[in-house]
Structure 1
Amino acid sequence: MHHPPAGRRSAHSAVALPEQPFFASAPQRAALARERLFVEGQRPTGLVAEPIIQSWQRCLVAHRQPGEKLAFDPVTASRRHGALQRGRPLLEAARPALERLQATLARTGVRSFLCDGEGLVVHSSPVPVDTEPVLGLASRLGVNLGEDAVGTTAPGLVLRTGQAVTVTREEHFFDLCGRLSCAAAPIRDRQGRLAGVLDLSTEGRAFTFDAAALVGLYASSIEDALLAEPDGDTLVLHFQADPRLLGTPLQALAGIDAQGRVAWANRAARSLLGTDDLQERPVAEVFGHELAVLMATAGTRGPQPLQLANGLGVWLRARLQMAPGARSDDGEGRRTPAPTLAPPAAEASTRAVAPEPAPSAAADAASTLAEHDHRLVLQALARNGGNVSRAARELGVSRGLLYRRLAAARGRPGESSGA
C-alpha cells in the first residue's frame, strides 16, 4: 500500500499521515483518501464510505476543485420567496420539533438546519458568525446546500440519494468545509417524495453524541407531523408491537381515507406492514380488518390488540381526524383544534387493555367516516343534555361546526339529526 513520505500532509487538512501502511483514525483515512483521489488520481475504495467517493467523483467531473472558494450565496429573492411559500406546510409541521431540537442542542455547539426538497435552507437555529463563520454563511435563508452548489455535504448527499448520512471534516469535498461535521436525514411527504432534509452541523469540533441517531429521530417526528396534517376526514391509526411505544416518535402511523383506502403511512408503519407499496390499497388487504372494525376502536379506552394481514400482532389506538374545516374559529376569533378521540399516550400505556371488538359490535359500527363522525356528535349532545355549546367544548370544536355537521346529516338519506 502506498503511503506518503514523512511529514507530508493532505492537501485538504492538517491531519498528518503516519509512517505506517494502516490508518487507525477516521481523519487519517479520509486524508489518505483525498491524497489518493485528488493527487494521485486513484479511487480510494475502502478508505471512506462509497457515497462519499461517488460524490467526490461527481464534483471532479463537474470540473470543481477542492481549493475553490465558496460564497454560500442565497438564491434570488424571488426564488427564495417561492421556496418559503411552497415550504410553508413543511415549516408548520416542523415547528414544534424544531423548537424541541433547539432546546436539546442548546449547550452542545451543534446547529440545526431545515432544507426544502430542493436543498434551500428554510430554517436554521442561531449561529454565532464570529466563531463559526462557515456555518454563519451556510445558515442564511435561501442558501442552496445541494451538491452542485457546495459539494459533498450531508444535506447534499441526502438530496442525491434519499438516505440518511453523516459527513465529517475531511470527507467534505471543498477545503472551506473541512472544519464541519454534519449529519442529515430525509423527510418525505404522503407520496414518498423528498419534502425536506433535516441537518445537524458543527464547526471546529466533533459531535459529542450520536448525531445520526438524533437527527433521524427528529426527522421522523417532523415527517409524522407532515403526514398527519388534516386533508379530508381520516381515520388515523397509531400502532406498534409494544403499546408503550404509542405516542412516541417510534410509533407507526397510517391514515385511512373515507373510502377505506390507505392514504399514507410513516416509516415505522411501512416497516411493520412489510412493504412500501401501501398508498390507495384497501384497508382490509393491509390491516386484515374492514374499515368498520377499525372505526369501532376509535374513542375506546386504551390500546386494542390487532393482528395485521401479515400475521404480526400489534397494539392499536385510532382517532377520527376531521377535515380542515374542523379547524374553524369559535365565533370569538379563536382557533379550535380537531377532536382527538384516543386517550393520551401516557394514560393509554397504563390502562388495562380492552378486549378486541366483537364481530357483532363491528357489524353495528358505522360504515363510513362521515356516519361515524355524526354518531360521535350525537353521543356528545346526548351526554350534555342537547346543549350544543357544552357538546362543542367536549369535542374541541366550534358550535358553528356542530350546526354544520348536523345540517349536513339531515341532507343524507335515512339520517336524522337527533337534536
Structure 2
Amino acid sequence: MPHTTNGQAGTPRQLFFQTAEQRTALARQRFFDEGARPSGLVGEAVIQSWLRCAKAHQQPTDMVSFEQVTRSRAHASLNRNRQLLQAGNLELNNMEAALAGTDCRVLLTDAQGVIIHATQLPASSQHPLLKTASRVGVNLTEGQVGTNAPGIVVRTGEACTVTGAEHFFQCLQTLHCAAAPIRDIHGQLAGVLDVSIEAGRFHFDAAAVVGMYATTIENRLLQLQSVEHLVLHFQASPTLLGTPMEALAGIDTSGRVLWLNGVGRRLTGCRMEHRHLVDEVFGTPLERLLALPRQPQAQTLRLPNGLGVWIQGTLTANDGADFKHAVAVSQPAPCASEPMPATKDPVDSEAGAPAAAQDETDTHATLLDHKQRLIESTLAACGGNIAKAARALGVSRGMLYRRLQKAETPAPSGTP
C-alpha cells in the first residue's frame, strides 16, 4: 500500500528533510546530538568547519560577540592592504549600489579575516547582528565567530555560502552569507569578499554575484601588482575582453609567465606549478607579444593547445609611464585599404602574428630593452623634443631625462 497524506491515496508522505531548512536541522541533530557525520545534508565545507569548531571546544549554545582587533592591528591591516582597497574601490561602490534595494551588506576582509571595508548601516538599522559585525577591524575567523562564509574562505581559500542554521553558533542562525576569495600575483589569498543578510534569505544567486565582483577586484589587483610586467588580456571571444571573463597573464622581465588568473589557467591548461617560459604557454616568442601594447585592436593567436584566442597587451613602468600612450607617435597609422585585425579569424601564431611583430628584428627579448627602445623611437618620432615625447609617454620631462641618463643616452640637440 502506498503511503497516504491527508487521506489522499497515492500521495507520498513528505520527508522530514524536504526543504533546505529541514535538511540543515536534521544535519545538526545528527552532528551535535548523535555525533554522526551529516554527509549529504549540508556541504562538506560546513561539516569540516563544524568539526574544527568542535575540536576547538566551542559549544553551539555559546554567545558570540563580534570583537574588533586592536587599533594598531586594524591600522596595520589597512596600510598593508592599500592595493587591495584601491583595486576594490570602484567595484565595492558598484556592488553596494546594485544591492541597495536589498537588505544585504558588503564586507571585505584581509587574508586573516579582519574586515577592512564594510557597508555603513544607518543608526536605526533593525539588523543587530550585522550592525555589530559590519565594522572595520572585526575579526570574522572561525576561531572568533565559528562557522561563517568569510571564515571558511580564509581557512580553505575556496568560495563558500553559509545559510541560517549552518552557522555553528545558534545565536547566528538568522544570518546568511556568501563569500569568495581574492588572490594576488603569487596565488596567495589577498582578501575575502562577502555579502551577508540578516533575518531573511537571499532572493538572488548571492554566490554568483559575489564571485563576479571578487573576480573583477582580483583582476584589478593583479594588474596593480604587475608594474614592470607585460600584462596579456586574452579570450576565445573578443567581446569578453575587459570583462570579468577575460583571461590575464603577467610576463616578467626575463620572459617567464609570472602569473595567470583563473580564466587564464583554464584557457591555457597551465597549472602554474612552476614558472613557464612565455613560448611554452602562448606558443610565440616574447618579441611578438611585446608588440601588442602598440596595437590599437586585439590580435589573434593560436595557443599550443590549439585554442584560438584574441589577445591584447599592456605595459606600465614603475614610474607610471604607460607605453601604450606612445602608439600615436611611434607607429604609423594603418592604411585605409589594410584589413583590420578584428575582422580576422583566429590563426596560428606564426601566420597570424601582428605585422609589427613579424617585422621585429631586434634580438633583445626583455621588457627593459623593449621599453628603452620604445622611448628612443618615441623621442625620434617627436623630432628629439623631450617635452613632446614625455607627453606621448604620459610621464614628466624630468622622469624622461632620468630614464635617458640611466640608459646613458645623450640628450638630443633638439631639447627645448
Structure 2 counterpart of 1:312, which letter? Answer: L
Equivalent pairs: percent with the same residue? 49
CA distance in 2, matches of 1:277, 1:378: 35
Return the offset for 1:310: 2.4
2:395 paired residue number: 397
Q: Which TM-score applies when normalising by structure 1?
A: 0.84
| Aligned pair partner of 2:169 in 171, 174, 196 | 174
CA distance in 1, matches of 2:341, 2:140: 45
User: Structure 1, residues 369-396: CA drift from partner, whole Å, max 9, x if none?
Assistant: 2232233333433444443333322322
The answer to whether structure 1 residue 91 and structure 2 residue 85 are counterparts is yes
Question: Residue 105 and residue 29 in structure 1: after superposition, are their counterparts in 2 closer, same or farther (change >3 A)?
Answer: same
Between stretches 267-276 and 356-365, larger displacement belongs to: 356-365
CA distance in 2, matches of 1:418, 1:188: 48
1:370 paired residue number: 368
User: Root-mean-square deviation (CA), in Å?
Assistant: 2.5
The answer to whether structure 1 residue 52 and structure 2 residue 49 are counterparts is no
CA distance in 2, matches of 1:236, 1:242: 18
Structure 2 counterpart of 1:292, which letter? Answer: E
1:37 paired residue number: 31
Moved over 4 A (4+): 415-419
The answer to whether structure 1 residue 25 and structure 2 residue 19 are counterparts is yes
1:240 paired residue number: 235
Q: Which TM-score applies when normalising by structure 2?
A: 0.85
**Correspondence list, 1:210-249, <5 A:** 210-249=205-244
| Aligned pair partner of 1:274 in 269, 278, 281 | 269
User: Structure 1, residues 304-326: CA drift from partner, whole Å, max 9, x if none?
Assistant: 11112222211110122212x22
User: Structure 1, residues 226-245: CA drift from partner, whole Å, max 9, x if none?
Assistant: 11125552111111111111
**Correspondence list, 1:110-259, <5 A:** 110-128=104-122, 130-259=125-254
Structure 1 counterpart of 2:133, which letter? Answer: A
Question: Residue 96 and residue 340 in structure 1: after superposition, are their counterparts in 2 closer, same or farther (change >3 A)?
Answer: farther
Question: Residue 226 and residue 118 in structure 1: after superposition, are their counterparts in 2 closer, same or farther (change >3 A)?
Answer: same
Return the offset for 1:275: 2.5
Question: Residue 360 and residue 53 in structure 1: after superposition, are their counterparts in 2 closer, same or farther (change >3 A)?
Answer: closer
Return the offset for 1:122: 0.8
1:296 paired residue number: 291
The answer to whether structure 1 residue 65 and structure 2 residue 63 are counterparts is no
Between stretches 129-138 and 365-374, larger displacement belongs to: 365-374
Return the offset for 1:81: 2.1
CA distance in 2, matches of 1:60, 1:342: 60
The answer to whether structure 1 residue 409 and structure 2 residue 407 are counterparts is yes
1:7 paired residue number: none
Return the offset for 1:24: 2.1
User: Structure 1, residues 230-263: CA drift from partner, whole Å, max 9, x if none?
Assistant: 5552111111111111111111111111111112
Return the offset for 1:78: 2.2
The number of aligned residues is 382
Question: Residue 110 and residue 350 in structure 1: after superposition, are their counterparts in 2 closer, same or farther (change >3 A)?
Answer: farther
SS for the counterpart of 2:276 is: coil
User: Structure 1, residues 106-152: CA drift from partner, whole Å, max 9, x if none?
Assistant: 22221111111111111111124531110111111111111111111
2:10 paired residue number: none
CA distance in 2, matches of 1:235, 1:418: 32
Q: Is the 8 A contact 1:296 1:365 kept in 2?
A: no
Q: Is the 8 A contact 2:121 2:131 kept in 1?
A: yes
Q: Is the 8 A contact 1:406 1:417 kept in 2?
A: no
Structure 1 counterpart of 2:353, which letter? Answer: E
Structure 2 counterpart of 1:307, which letter? Answer: R
Between stretches 28-37 and 194-203, larger displacement belongs to: 28-37
SS for the counterpart of 2:294 is: coil
Q: Is the 8 A contact 2:150 2:194 kept in 1?
A: yes
Structure 2 counterpart of 1:224, which letter? Answer: N
Question: Residue 379 and residue 310 in structure 1: after superposition, are their counterparts in 2 closer, same or farther (change >3 A)?
Answer: same
User: Structure 1, residues 209-235: CA drift from partner, whole Å, max 9, x if none?
Assistant: 111111111111111111112555211
Structure 2 unaligned spans of 5+: 1-12, 328-339, 346-351
Structure 2 counterpart of 1:107, which letter? Answer: G
2:359 paired residue number: 361
Q: Is the 8 A contact 1:296 1:361 kept in 2?
A: no
Structure 2 counterpart of 1:180, which letter? Answer: L
CA distance in 1, matches of 2:220, 2:201: 30
Structure 1 unaligned spans of 5+: 1-18, 328-337, 344-348
Structure 1 counterpart of 2:39, which letter? Answer: T
CA distance in 1, matches of 2:97, 2:290: 38
SS for the counterpart of 1:57 is: helix
Return the offset for 1:82: 2.1
